[in-house]
Chains A and B, each alone.
Chain A
Amino acid sequence: MRKVAWTVLTGVMALSLAACGSTSKNNAAPAGSGSSDASSSGAARTYFINPKSIGPAYWAAAQKGAEQAASDLNVKVVYNAPTEADSSKQINMIQDMLTRKVDGIGVSPNDAKAVGPIFKKAAGQNVQIVTWDSDAPDTDRQYYVAPDTDKAVGELLAKTIGDEIGGKGKVAFMVAGLGSENQIAKSDAAKAYFAANYPDVQVVTTVASDDDQQKAYANAQNLIKTYPDLRGIIGFAGGEPPAAAEVVEQAVKAGTMKQGQIAITGIAVPSVVKNYIKDGTINTDIIWDPGKLAYTTVYVLDQLAQGKEIADGMDIPTVGKVKVDGQNVFIGTLQVTKDNVDSFDF
């Protein structure tokens, strides 16, 4: 009898604990997801903005932009994703948000093909669909919001590194995921650019980190050990260039490598690579403002939801004029160097 009583008691305790957890989390929800939850009226349009994962600085910067757009446009934004760049968890989450009857979804797909069925379902429910940062062509998405074409970005990266190493030598690619469309398109474009303009540049390998910072770091360590005569590294996603720079810097400090032996460029948030740029480990970094990218995504979704047209050269507040090419919306890229690295606030 005593045992039964104790079981019931602990059960009740467990429940009340769970209740505490639930209520506190409920209060925390606006802080964690969309700051505009409280301010918006009941009839406000709601958009689900879904990056590839939650955690990396890049996506955190994007969240700020999405929330800024939410308060500027007076709409609700839920910004959420799995903690790892996992396609099936991402799709479960989109499915859940469709149940919540959001007015639009802005997705950066981890797998361009896998989002096909869920996009079809969303389109069937008259939900606006925009992809951002990474595209899912051949699906029901209406627009793709990007800094520039993947081809242009890939070519710019290849040109940067080709110039820095004098058009000759071994180069390695570091990507976030071998499956994502934007990574494939960018690295393919860079390869093609080398083949056409720097035939003496040899791309020795492509390593993937799955958006995992530790893995990116280990990848970079392996690269400099495996290819002692490596001349350049291109990091195609936010976590890769800092990992490469850190490893190279440590090798220089340890005396196993000369300063400037390996040139590094890539796509990275300025705040993360600021020190590497200042001490010359990275000369040029390519970036766009992820906040503006997310802002544009919310803006485009809101335009679509109101039945308004997406026109070339339209002026988006805080973002500026954007280029619209077919179903693509381009906001433009920035080059970060020693001279301007302090002028970015993300």
Chain B
Amino acid sequence: MSMRTIGLSFKQNKLLVQLLLLLFILVLFSILSPYFLSVTNFMNVFNQMVEVGLIAIPMTMIVISGAMDLSVGSILGFSAVCMGIAFEHGLNIWASVLVALLAGLLCGAVNGYLIARHRMQAIVVTIGMLVMLRGLVYVLNQGRPISGYPDSFYFLGQQYIAGVPFNAIFLAAVFLLAHFVMKRTRFSTYVYGIGNNEEAVHYSGISVVRTRFILFLLSGLFSAMAGVFLVSRLASAEATSGTNIELDVLTATLIGGTHIFGGRGSLSGTFIGLLIIVFLRNGLNLLGVSVLYQAVILGALLLIAVGNKQFNRGLSR
């Protein structure tokens, strides 16, 4: 019990640092660029962060459980292209969306089956899926982008409701829901438990296999959702959709204070981590800073965030 309270207070401290960092970034860019602090710009940023944000939810859970899913970008691309192909073959657009979600679930199920049931290394399995699915995408659509969807579909990614992008509202709602799940349900206890001590969870009679399977299933589903939103926002399903998105997702998760070896972390942290990286990128873009510098800065930030954590950990021991 005392361990738990220590962990909790630690987590809160941690979040404070991230909040300060976010605040610092916001203030800094407001001073440096006259265009940064405006409703239009903030709404733009919210509109752009949805795909990474959606995938970051299950990713945080998976990292907390002590695993990793590197195939999310390829699942995104695969689902997006499946949707495009279904639509091209005359399926109703919303039925095509369903096809995309099913495709994502299927990929997640394959991941989950191999990792949970057969206890294969998550990194190895998901790297395999990353390469294989991306290849499959190219086979499926011959590398050509698929576009020409009905206007009603663009609602998801391009419509603003009372000045706020619809996809951002959706992301916020899903984040709140997931936050509730991770705070209040037994499922979250299992997830944290597996990350801390898989054996102990196993011997308490809880199905580790089922919990892990559900996590990867969720990851597949959310990646597919991100794919649908991306296609709606860009009006085009491309073979390269989602390439390298896993790096952004993991960066947000890790800056948000989730421990790469599992057991600790929170969705609120991930959300702040997400805001940090999207506002940082947006601010640097507005200043016209070359992407080459942007990569350096983002990497340094990750080192600071993670280093700060390790530093703390050594001290609290």
Q: Chain A residues in contact with chain B, CB under 8 A?
A: 2-4, 6-7, 10-11, 14-15, 17-19, 21-22, 25-26, 28-29, 32-34, 37, 54, 78-88, 91-93, 95-97, 99-101, 110-114, 116-117, 177-179, 184, 208, 210
Contact B44 A86 (CB under 8 A): no
Contact B293 A32 (CB under 8 A): yes
Which positions 39-85 of chain B face chain A at CB distance < 8 Å?
A: 40-41, 44, 47-48, 51
Stretch at the interface among B116-124, B207-215, B280-288: B280-288
Instruction: Indicate whether B2 reaches chain A with its CB closer than 8 angstroms.
Output: no
Distance A210 CA – B240 CA, assembled complex (angstroms): 8
Query: Would you mind naming 19 contact pairs between A and B with Cβ atoms under 8 Å apart?
Result: A6-B311, A19-B28, A22-B28, A25-B293, A26-B289, A28-B289, A28-B293, A33-B290, A83-B292, A84-B244, A95-B44, A95-B47, A99-B41, A101-B35, A112-B145, A114-B147, A114-B236, A117-B235, A179-B144
Distance A286 CA – B158 CA, assembled complex (angstroms): 41
Distance A177 CA – B238 CA, assembled complex (angstroms): 11
Instruction: Indicate whether B21 reaches chain A with its CB closer than 8 angstroms.
Output: yes
Instruction: Indicate whether B94 reaches chain A with its CB closer than 8 angstroms.
Output: no
Q: Which of A7, A26, A179 contacts B238 (CB 8 A)?
A: A179
Q: Which residues of B contact A26 (CB under 8 A)?
A: 32, 287, 289
- Chain A residue nearest to B157 in the complex (CB): A117
Question: In the complex, how many angstroms separate the beta carbon of B27 from the nearest chain A beta carbon?
Answer: 11
Distance A208 CA – B311 CA, assembled complex (angstroms): 45
Which positions 262-317 of chain B face chain A at CB distance < 8 Å?
A: 281-282, 284-293, 295, 297, 300-301, 304-305, 308, 311-312, 315-316
Given A99-B44, A114-B145, A184-B144, the answer on whether A7 and B312 have CB atoms closer than 8 Å is yes
Contact B286 A113 (CB under 8 A): no
Contact B297 A3 (CB under 8 A): no
Which 6 pairs from chain A and chain B are nearest by CB? A178-B143, A32-B290, A113-B147, A78-B288, A96-B285, A114-B236
Contact B286 A100 (CB under 8 A): yes
Cβ-Cβ contact count across A and B, 8 Å cutoff: 169
Interface centre among A19, A21, A92, A93 (most CB of B within 10 A): A92
Given A28-B293, A111-B238, the answer on whether A18 and B312 have CB atoms closer than 8 Å is no
Q: Which residues of A contact B47 (CB under 8 A)?
A: 95
Question: In the complex, how many angstroms separate the beta carbon of B245 from the nearest chain A beta carbon?
Answer: 9
Q: Chain B residues in contact with chain A, CB under 8 A?
A: 10, 13-14, 16-17, 20-21, 24-25, 28, 32-33, 35, 38, 40-41, 44, 47-48, 51, 138, 142-145, 147-148, 154, 158, 230, 233-236, 238-241, 243-244, 281-282, 284-293, 295, 297, 300-301, 304-305, 308, 311-312, 315-316
Distance A34 CA – B288 CA, assembled complex (angstroms): 8
Contact A96 B308 (CB under 8 A): no
Known contacts A7-B17, A28-B293, A99-B41; 16 further A-B pairs (Cβ under 8 A):
A3-B316, A7-B312, A10-B312, A22-B28, A22-B32, A28-B289, A29-B288, A54-B290, A83-B291, A87-B234, A92-B285, A100-B35, A101-B35, A110-B240, A179-B145, A210-B243
Q: Which residues of B contact A81 (CB under 8 A)?
A: 291
Contact A11 B291 (CB under 8 A): no
Question: In the complex, how many angstroms separate the beta carbon of A96 from the nearest chain B beta carbon?
Answer: 4
Q: Which residues of B contact A179 (CB under 8 A)?
A: 143-145, 238-240
Q: Which of B17, B158, B244, B293 contacts A86 (CB 8 A)?
A: B244
Contact B236 A99 (CB under 8 A): no
Contact B316 A80 (CB under 8 A): no
Distance A299 CA – B13 CA, assembled complex (angstroms): 54
Q: Which of B238, B244, B316 contacts A114 (CB 8 A)?
A: B238
Contact A10 B44 (CB under 8 A): no
Contact A177 B33 (CB under 8 A): no
Q: Which of B41, B241, B281, B315 contacts A6 (CB 8 A)?
A: B315
Q: Which of A2, A82, A88, A184 contacts B230 (CB 8 A)?
A: A88
Given A96-B285, A99-B44, A117-B158, the answer on whether A87 and B292 have CB atoms closer than 8 Å is no
Q: Which residues of B contact A15 (CB under 8 A)?
A: 20-21, 24
Contact B316 A18 (CB under 8 A): no
Q: Which residues of A contact B289 (CB under 8 A)?
A: 25-26, 28-29, 32-33, 80
Given A10-B311, A54-B292, A117-B158, the answer on whether A93 and B285 have CB atoms closer than 8 Å is yes
Q: Which of A54, A91, A101 contacts B291 (CB 8 A)?
A: A54
Question: In the complex, how many angstroms separate the beta carbon of A4 from the nearest chain B beta carbon?
Answer: 7
Q: Which of A6, A18, A79, A177 contacts B25 (CB 8 A)?
A: A18
Contact A11 B16 (CB under 8 A): yes
Q: Which residues of B contact A85 (CB under 8 A)?
A: 240
Contact A29 B287 (CB under 8 A): yes
Distance A337 CA – B189 CA, assembled complex (angstroms): 69
Contact A11 B20 (CB under 8 A): yes
Distance A6 CA – B308 CA, assembled complex (angstroms): 10
Interface centre among A84, A88, A177 (most CB of B within 10 A): A88
Given A7-B312, A100-B33, A114-B238, the answer on whether A18 and B143 have CB atoms closer than 8 Å is no
Q: Which of B38, B40, B143, B238 contacts A87 (CB 8 A)?
A: B238
Contact A25 B291 (CB under 8 A): no
Interface centre among B33, B291, B308, B311 (most CB of A within 10 A): B291
Question: In the complex, how many angstroms separate the beta carbon of A78 from the nearest chain B beta carbon?
Answer: 4
Q: Which residues of B contact A54 (CB under 8 A)?
A: 290-292
Q: Which residues of B contact A7 (CB under 8 A)?
A: 13-14, 16-17, 312
Given A21-B297, A32-B290, the answer on whether A14 and B21 have CB atoms closer than 8 Å is yes
Contact A113 B287 (CB under 8 A): no
